[in-house]
Amino acid sequence: MSVFKSVTFDVEHGSSHVLRLPNQAEDVFLFDAGRNQFFSPSEYLKNRWNVERVKCLILSHHDNDHIEDLDDLKKIKPHILSTPTVSHDYLLNHYGGSLPQRLQEFLNFAQEYNVPVPSLDDPSYDWGGVQFAMFSHDEGVHFNLNNLSQAVFVKYQGWTILFPGDLERPGWLEHLNNDAFVENLQSVDIFVASHHGRESGYCEEVFEVCRPKLVIVSDKSTSETSVTEKYTRVSQGMNFTNGKRHVLTTRADGAIYMEIDNMGRHKISTRYDYLTK
Ligand SMILES: [Fe+2]
């Protein structure tokens, strides 16, 4: 029986989430391509999951901690690359006139994707019952690069996971003016905390329409602006063997694994090591 899997890897201050879809091909999706000094999610997928090609990389936004794993990513080169639409001038302006080397390498890599593909919610795809809904702002609306993050809702068998990238409060507020976004937000069960759980990514108004069962934070160590307590208050919490948890963090729990079967039954576990699939 095919099972939907979601993994948030522990890449310290970075972002790397993986989906394995329950379709026949068991396609693998990556949300961002962060890594840490010792661990490459792409290398892990190649060696442990025997992934030869990732089906799709969804880059939330053009920031270093989301593309650090580029070298190993090239070895399991995604068929589809989804990035926010941001002009070269915008990026140059944002980075003060000269692009970081890693970003330039990523842009060179992205140039290889020059054939248009249908959007991920196109019915011609077979994602095994998984649905995607994607939202992003135009660069003219918000200057801050984080606020151009693609926010992606992933839905399967009654569950909705939201990957909002590094959205900050202005970006959230703009999205809340969009009825389709709000409709998706209302159904969120698993909320990946924006901007690594930092204060700047938290938006109180979001939780007037959204009461997630669980919040996931991907970060290295507690920063002064980390708002785990706020997320604890707005999360319903889920029961684990060691008690109810409202927030799981990669810094305290390690990698976070979720499985949903075709009846909607779920299993969530955390591990510090990556020795088992
Ligand atoms: Fe980030």
* Gap from CA of 24 to ligand 1 centroid (Å): 32
Convert the pLDDT of each residue in 146-184 to its tens digit. Answer: 999 999 999 999 999 999 999 999 999 999 999 999 999
Domains and CATH numbers, the chain: 4-271 (3.60.15.10)
* Gap from CA of 46 to ligand 1 centroid (Å): 24
Mean pLDDT of 212-225: 83
Convert the pLDDT of each residue in 14-60 to its tens digit. Answer: 889 999 999 999 999 999 999 988 899 999 999 999 999 999 999 99
* Gap from CA of 126 to ligand 1 centroid (Å): 30
Convert the pLDDT of each residue in 255-276 to its tens digit. Answer: 999 999 999 999 999 988 654 4
Percent helix, strand and coil across the chain, each to the nearest 5: 30, 25, 50
* Gap from CA of 63 to ligand 1 centroid (Å): 7
How many beta carbons lie within 10 A of that of residue 14, not counting itself? 26
Q: How far apart are CA 217 and CA 232, in angstroms?
A: 11
Instruction: Please tell me the predicted confidence (pLDDT) of residue 273.
Output: 63
* Gap from CA of 166 to ligand 1 centroid (Å): 6
Instruction: Please tell me the predicted confidence (pLDDT) of residue 274.
Output: 55
CB 54 within 8 A of CB 29: yes
* Gap from CA of 258 to ligand 1 centroid (Å): 22
Enumerate residues with CB within 5 Å of ligand 1 (an ion): 65, 166
* Gap from CA of 124 to ligand 1 centroid (Å): 32
Q: Rounded to an integer, what is the distance from CA 151 to the centroid of its chain? A: 8
* Gap from CA of 100 to ligand 1 centroid (Å): 15
* Gap from CA of 13 to ligand 1 centroid (Å): 7
Instruction: Please tell me the predicted confidence (pLDDT) of residue 2.
Output: 82
Convert the pLDDT of each residue in 114-144 to its tens digit. Answer: 998 999 999 899 999 999 999 999 998 767 9
Mean pLDDT of 101-117: 96
Convert the pLDDT of each residue in 193-209 to its tens digit. Answer: 999 999 999 999 999 99
Instruction: Please tell me the predicted confidence (pLDDT) of residue 223.
Output: 63
Mean pLDDT of 83-95: 94
**Percentage with pLDDT > 70 across the chain:** 96
Instruction: Please tell me the predicted confidence (pLDDT) of residue 1.
Output: 63
Mean pLDDT of 48-75: 96
Write 104-112 long-range contacts (CB < 8 A, 24+): 105/70, 106/62, 106/67, 106/70, 107/62, 109/70, 109/74, 110/81, 110/83
